[in-house]
Amino acid sequence: MHLELSEEQEAVRRLAADFVAREVAPHVVAWDRAEEVDRGIVKKLGDLGFLGLTIPEEYGGSGGDHLAYCLVTEELGRGDSSVRGIVSVSLGLVAKTLAAWGTEEQKRAWLPRLTAGEALGCFGLTEPGTGSDAGNLATRAVRDGDGYRLTGTKTFITNGTWADLALVFARTGDAPGHRGVSAFLVPTDTPGLTRRPIHGKLGLRGQATAELVLEDVRVPARALLGPEGKGFTVAMSALAKGRMSVAAGCVGIAQAALDAAVRYAGEREQFGKPIASYQLVQELLSDIAVDVEAARLLTWRVADLIDRGRDFATAASQAKLYASEAAVRCANNALQVFGGYGYIDEYPVGKLLRDARVMTLYEGTSQIQKLIIGRALTGISAF
């Protein structure tokens, strides 16, 4: 195994790190307090090619492999998870799914705009009554001439109030459970679609999270993404790759926690010496460092499996499970190193902990990842 990055991968990592230092880091506290990232960041992400990674150039993408995508995601997560999430959803869950399942017409219609950051995507799976049991969703798509009419409510939708395109999962026909689900590309300016911002989140406060209400939203037949009745397969294929992206974002959080804690421990003095000189503080630092490396290697392994065309779904669940739990532990340990200052938002570690916490919940909770891994080990579904 080659664990060294190529020159190209190093260059893309540096590009992302420089972007974060210049365009993100100076605003992180203000955006978090205002509960809104500056929307101009979307176009800037597009201009640098970060919204087109792994997408073929013929559709406006910037190409690159999944490891490069992980590196960019990690750097963005190191800077601000709210910014990282914009990319993970618009590119990771929407554009990549469109590239994999879309018709030529669908790809030409949306991918150039999504990759350029001229349009933003959101992923509408979760509903007020169905989260982990997503296959049981209640939103309906009823045949209407040569199109469909969609009615239902989606909640907790990242990029929701900003998005131009919603990938919406709805029930077509009477087949029970996930077999009756189909995927639709719904422009958010379609009559009947309204959006309500969700405020007061514990973390990811800069992100535009929303509830989407669909009341008799009419879409043409060409809005169907993938075959009718295969929508759950579309959603699960999106989430499997999405979990790699979440894991990479968690590595970024954990690395940021390590950097901040090491720096602070060297500067802060108590009992006449830097706190870095105390064994119990070094234990906190070394616990963080081991978590960072383990989470990174599990995540890179997923990228490598995808790039070599191998099965990666269980590895993605393992990486997402480990990296998300590790990010919470690392941010919490870093907060301990900061003492009382860690509890104040002028210092970075409190936000890292708040942002990390949701990573164990979305794109499948930690319990759901364990059930996926358990099913792969035993052949028995315990859902």
The verdict on whether 363 is a catalytic residue reads yes
Name the catalytic one among 23, 74, 211, 363: 363
Contact 306, 244 (CB under 8 A): yes
Residues 122 and 24: their CA atoms lie apart, in Å, by 22
Smallest distance, ligand FAD to C-beta of residue 272, A? 44
Residue 371: CB minimum distance to ligand FAD, A? 6
Which DSSP string do the residues of 208-244 spell out, in sequence order? Answer: --EEEEEEEEEEEGGGEESSTT-HHHHHHHHHHHHHH
Q: Give the residue with the Cβ less far from ligand FAD, 20 or 239.
A: 239
Is the Cβ of residue 202 or residue 344 nearer to ligand FAD in the bound state? Answer: 202
Minimum Å gap between C-beta 95 and ligand FAD is 14
Are 247 and 299 within 8 A, CB to CB?
yes
CB-nearer residue toward ligand FAD: 19 or 169? 169
Q: Pick from 112, 291, 150: which is nearest to 231 by CA? A: 150
Q: Which residues bind ligand FAD (CB under 6 A)?
A: 89, 123-126, 131-132, 156-158, 201, 204, 209, 358, 361-363, 365, 367-368, 383
Separation CA 381–CA 371 (nearest Å): 7
Measured from the CB atom, the residue of 62 and 88 that comes closer to ligand FAD is 88
* 48 HSE (CA, 13 A, CB side): 20
Q: Are 124 and 150 in contact, with CB atoms under 8 Å apart?
A: no
Other CB atoms within 10 Å distance of the CB of residue 161: 18
- Whichever of 49 and 121 has its CB closer to ligand FAD, that residue is 121
Collapsing DSSP to helix, strand or coil, 374 comes out as: helix
Collapse the DSSP code of 174 into the 3-class scheme (helix H, G, I; strand E, B; otherwise coil) and give the result.
coil
Contact 90, 114 (CB under 8 A): yes
Least CB distance from residue 269 to ligand FAD, whole Å?
A: 38
User: How far is residue 148's CA from residue 172's CA, in Å, rounded to a whole number?
Assistant: 9
| CB-closest chain residue to ligand FAD | 131
Q: Is the Cβ of residue 64 or residue 180 nearer to ligand FAD in the bound state?
A: 180
Least distance (Å) from ligand FAD to the CB of residue 128?
A: 8
CB of 294 to ligand FAD, least distance (A): 22
Sign for the CA dihedral angle at 326, 332, 333, 334 comes to positive
Q: Distance between CA 155 and CA 266 in Å, rounded? A: 44
**Would you say 170 and 216 are in contact if contact means Cβ atoms under 8 Å apart?**
no
Q: Which residues are catalytic?
A: 363
